[in-house]
Structure 1
Amino acid sequence: MPDTTRPRLLCISFSDFNSDSRVLRQLAVLAESCDVTTLGYGPRPPHAVDHIEVDRSLPSLPQTVGGVLKLGLRRFRAVQYEAPAVRAAIEQVGDREFDIVVANEARALPLAFRVAGSPRIWCDLHEWAPAERTHVLSWRLLVAPFMHWVCAEYLPRVDAATTINDSIADMYRREFGIDVEIVRNAIGYRADLQPSPVSDDVIRLVHSGGAIPGRNVEAIIEAVDLLGDGYALDLYLIPSREGDSYWRGLLRQIEDSPRTTLHPPVAPDELPDALNPYDLGVFLLPPLTPNHRHMLPNKFFDFVQARLGLVFGTSIETDRLIAADELGVVASGYAAGDIVEAVRGLDRDDIRRFKKNADAAAEKLSSIIDVATERRVIDRLRQGISRRSRL
């Protein structure tokens, strides 16, 4: 049963909580001091005392005929609640009151401001919302202007805002004039893990994450085949809900590759253990959007906690961190040949050094700093509730 002496908190995320590692870490912190109700796709996640499940088939953007028409006419105020998932959420939340609402990503903000009880609102911005999928023409023409409007309309009114790195925080400050704190996508510190030995026979590459068009997984598979004998690739992939044809194409490519092995997806907390036996974590995301150019993804931190060397495509934030602690190599481009060039340029002593450096940097690149920031934010919001109740 909920504890009536603790703040009532609604955490909104239009994702499956149980496969969203960032939100799962967030929930663990929120539950330390609040009774958490979650709202999103999939079953109730850990740390929630209650859960409002939204049918995962309902999109979280206004993709109905009427919604698209209003987007095209720039009738943003009229369309903000028309996404099927948002309409379902409004109906299910009803007149339930909350003291705090955490809106994960800007698309959750209109709903957050409709919640009863005049809650304090914290928006956790997982990326630069106005350019989330601007590499897709329809998104760029219809949704991007709407997301910019949502940010301009609601972000100046939130009580707290966080995002994943300094580059994106600066973009929000400049464009919308808000104060943004940093909560990276880092996972917990794994003091129990050590760098695994580098085999004399096979250099083992690994990639984990969503099998989503644009993530360039196909280039990594092609690269390991070009590298030839002495190299192997293991993949821990989450199939995309939207990318069935892409997923089928990947499966065919994996089946045709003698050096690639596909594994079932692994829970976020279990990833460091699963990845630890490998040598090099590989990720090359072509810079199709501002978010790609400023990325600091989960897998960077997963690879560090697993004590792997890194092979990454260039981006502002990861380039800086890789260079600072000599964690790996930055490829010159994003094609299979660029991966081959980067990996062939490494000998086993290089890989051992990268893995040792990852071990040395693992604590500072863990979530310890980020959890402290989240606790400060939630403490401020709770104090605001206490002051309001005394008025």
Structure 2
Amino acid sequence: MTRILCISLSPIRRDARVLRQISVLRELGDVVTVGYDEQPDGVIEHIRVPDDRLSLPQTPGGVLNLGLRRFSAVELAAPGVSYALEQLRGREFDLVVANDARVLGLAFEVAGDAPVWADMHEWAPEERTHVLSWRLLVAPFMVHLCRKYLPRAAAVTTVGGEIAELYQRDFGVTPQVMRNAAPFADLNPSEMVAGRIRLVHSGGAVHGRNLEAMIDAVKELDDRFSLDLYLVPAADGGKYLGSLKERAGGDPRVVFHEPVAPSMLPATLNAYDVGVFWIPPVHTNARLTLPNKLFDYVQGRLALAIGPTIEMERVVREHELGVISAGFDVQSCIESLRALTPDDIMRFKRASDASAEELSFEHEGAAALAMLRTVLSAS
């Protein structure tokens, strides 16, 4: 049986992209995972990295080496990486999967002669460039890892065509696009409720995603509109989520729910009318994002309301899924919603229904499976 190692220094049970990735890997062999939190379903073994073992070299020595640009000295020095390496010493695998640039050094250290699939979820050099310490210390390290290891990878994937072009431009590799599409859900568009337009948003309660604009827009719109939020608290202990609840000010039309598991999300979203997401281009990954939630909204058979974000706009226009605001400010968001009629929304919902199979993970997964079979046959 083919032995596959999947490394993702994330809480894998809540990481929708990695869970979908595992579903592909399981068709090829036995899967061992390395990551935070509990064991994901369907794998034969999970090496759980303690939560306090961070995924970057955020130790005094590590920070010093980052500052001095001694990048080779810190490739395996992050506490989470070094812990994983100790657990994996002496193990052999037929395929190693590296999720994100930060584990590329670990993946190649463990792989030996086995091929490595590097899944670059986003544009690694600018993952958190809105944070000064990241920009000064970590971004150059990410560039080092990508420059050193991506040309050695047997396969490279990323989330969209625009980001794939950046990897080709800067690192000379040609990634295969593997979009963050959700598995196909066998649902029908829900009917409208007379006199109501039910907006919904799901995702992380993270700064920079313009969640404030969603709340402010609904408070200014007429009483037809409501907003339900399914938000995963950030690593700040829920502080930012708390600030959003304060901003809503007890408005009964803005309702906060507990997050739901990725597998349950389409059925939950199906009860609503319009999935909203207006993320401003605060950095490259935001400017070029093609996120899980767009595909979740399609599987939920929703109309979509988005901002003029390059990759998202391309999909929404191609499939006629919804409305695109002129900008990312509150008034632009309001104007894109205010003119919506029930007939418009039902037309967009039906377009989501018609596009659900094409925009499902089954298409992305089949392409990934074919790629990996080629990689394994060549190794």
Same fold (TM over 0.5): yes
Spell out the pairing of 1:167-246 with structure 2 (5 A cutoff).
167-190=162-185, 192-242=186-236, 244-246=238-240
Tell me how far 1:117 sits from its aligned partner. Answer: 4.2
Spell out the pairing of 1:300-379 with structure 2 (5 A cutoff).
300-379=294-373
TM-score, structure 2 length as denominator?
0.97
**Length, aligned pairs only:** 379
Residues 161 and 181, structure 1, Cα contact 8 Å, conserved in 2 = yes
Match of 1:112 among 102, 107, 113: 107
Spell out the pairing of 1:97-176 with structure 2 (5 A cutoff).
97-115=92-110, 117-176=112-171
Select between 373-382 and 205-214 the one with higher mean Cα deviation.
Answer: 373-382
Q: Report the Cα distance in structure 2 between the residues aligned to 1:96 and 1:123, rounded to whole angstroms.
A: 19
Tell me how far 1:289 sits from its aligned partner. Answer: 1.0
Letter in structure 1 aligned against 2:96: V
Match of 2:57 among 38, 62, 65: 62
Q: Report the Cα distance in structure 2 between the residues aligned to 1:129 and 1:371, rounded to whole angstroms.
A: 22
Select between 227-236 and 201-210 the one with higher mean Cα deviation.
Answer: 227-236
Q: Report the Cα distance in structure 1 between the residues aligned to 2:378 and 2:44, rounded to whole angstroms.
A: 23
Q: Report the Cα distance in structure 1 between the residues aligned to 2:361 and 2:27, rounded to whole angstroms.
A: 16
- SS of 2:358's partner is coil
Q: Report the Cα distance in structure 1 between the residues aligned to 2:215 and 2:32, rounded to whole angstroms.
A: 41
Select between 250-259 and 357-366 the one with higher mean Cα deviation.
Answer: 250-259
Tell me how far 1:345 sits from its aligned partner. Answer: 2.2
Residues 97 and 118, structure 2, Cα contact 8 Å, conserved in 1 = yes
Match of 1:43 among 38, 63, 67: 38
- SS of 1:33's partner is coil
Tell me how far 1:257 sits from its aligned partner. Answer: 2.4
- SS of 2:289's partner is coil
Q: Report the Cα distance in structure 2 between the residues aligned to 1:24 and 1:240, rounded to whole angstroms.
A: 20
Residues 254 and 262, structure 1, Cα contact 8 Å, conserved in 2 = no
Structure 2: runs of 5 or more not aligned: none
Tell me how far 1:227 sits from its aligned partner. Answer: 0.9
Q: Structure 1 residue 285 and structure 2 residue 279: aligned? A: yes
Q: Report the Cα distance in structure 2 between the residues aligned to 1:238 and 1:149, rounded to whole angstroms.
A: 32
Identity %: 51
Tell me how far 1:116 sits from its aligned partner. Answer: 5.2
Q: Structure 1 residue 23 and structure 2 residue 18: aligned? A: yes
Runs (4+) of structure 1 exceeding 6 A deviation are none
Q: Report the Cα distance in structure 2 between the residues aligned to 1:270 and 1:211, rounded to whole angstroms.
A: 19
Tell me how far 1:245 sits from its aligned partner. Answer: 2.4
RMSD of Structure 2 on Structure 1 (CA): 1.3
Spell out the pairing of 1:255-274 with structure 2 (5 A cutoff).
256-274=250-268
Q: Report the Cα distance in structure 1 between the residues aligned to 2:198 and 2:155, rounded to whole angstroms.
A: 43
